[in-house]
Structure 1
């Protein structure tokens, strides 16, 4: 099993709108691709939040092929949705992890 992890640092000015968009739209759109079996959205704690909070969203998939399908077929448009709404008020990085135990 694999975890596609997306970590996002937000500016406070978009925090509430971004969380609402994630909960009401984006997470459902990602799951509707059929590439992932479950997800969790967490807020990082014990970090400096002076400029804004940081969240991590972890999407679980059974195979690397499912991840590749998401990246190739769906990720560009779904990423663009967030950029169009929130622009440079957020910054993120992504990583793929394999569960070993």
Structure 2
């Protein structure tokens, strides 16, 4: 199992609109690709404030091959949907392989 993590810092002035869009549009669109088994959205408790509000969305995916298919087939189109928020957020992405759970 892999986790595709997207951490995003959002300007406070668009926060409410962005969070609603994430919950009702973007995360459902990601799941509708059929490549992810679920998603968890968390607010990040930042020790050193850099302004804005930070969130992490972790998308669970069965294997690396499925994640690669997402990048090839879907990521460009889904990232394009962020245009209304352009310049008002910054994101970075990480891929993690789960090696143990209890």
Q: Under a length normalisation based on structure 2, what TM-score does the superposition of the two structures give?
A: 0.93
Alignment-derived partner of residue 89 in structure 1: 88
Alignment-derived partner of residue 97 in structure 2: 98
SS in 2 for 1:95: strand
Q: Could you tell me how far apart the structure 1 residues matched to 2:26 and 2:32 are?
A: 10
Following superposition, the deviation at residue 30 of structure 1 comes to 0.2
Q: Does 1:63 align with 2:58?
A: no
Q: Under a length normalisation based on structure 1, what TM-score does the superposition of the two structures give?
A: 0.94
Aligned pair count?
100
Gaps of 5+ in 1: none
Q: Could you tell me how far apart the structure 1 residues matched to 2:32 and 2:99 are?
A: 27
Following superposition, the deviation at residue 46 of structure 1 comes to 3.8
Q: Could you tell me how far apart the structure 1 residues matched to 2:47 and 2:85 are?
A: 22
C-alpha distance after superposition, 1:8-62 (max 9, x if no partner)? 0111111000000001100100000000001100000143446210000000011
Alignment-derived partner of residue 75 in structure 1: 75
Contact conserved, 2:46 with 2:54, CA < 8 A, in 1? no
Task: Map 1:21-36; keep pairs closer than 5 Å.
Answer: 21-36=21-36
Alignment-derived partner of residue 16 in structure 1: 16
